[in-house]
Structure 1
């Protein structure tokens, strides 16, 4: 399977959405290279960065599912070269 490296940036604006985000990330944990979460208390949001090594379909699917969660903003960027 051809895979790509991608960075998925998640901004959590509603804490009720955290459980669903963690659930989706757990389902895709076999593809996750690393994850970092930062609370930004002054603005009342949490920022999660996820590095993933997966096929383009899996990257798009995960980003899309995360984006459908209310209170979540998601953007992803993929490396230009396949690994």
Structure 2
């Protein structure tokens, strides 16, 4: 299956679900190239950027599972190649 490079943007507005987010990311660790997380204390949110090299269905499934968590927004941006 063909792999693509993607950036997965995640915004966490409910700190109660952080462990669930980390669990989902851990399950896909073989596809994760890098991760950067930034707490934004003034707004009480966390912003995470994940760079992945994975099949399209893996990226979209992860984005969908994250987005279904209460208090979490996720969006994937794909490379054109």
Q: What's the TM-score once normalised by structure 1's chain length?
A: 0.95
Q: After superposition, give the CA deviation of every residue in 1:16-72 in whole Å (9 maximum; x if it has no partner).
A: 010100000000000000000001001110000000000001011100110100010
Aligned pairs, number: 81
Aligned to 2:24: 24
Name segments (4+ residues, structure 1) moved above 6 Å. none
Structure 2 residue runs of 5 or longer lacking an equivalent are none
Q: What's the TM-score once normalised by structure 2's chain length?
A: 0.98
SS state at 2:42 partner:
coil
Structure 1 residue runs of 5 or longer lacking an equivalent are none
Aligned to 1:3: 3
Work out the CA distance in 2 between the residues paired with 1:58 and 1:73: 17
Aligned to 1:37: 37
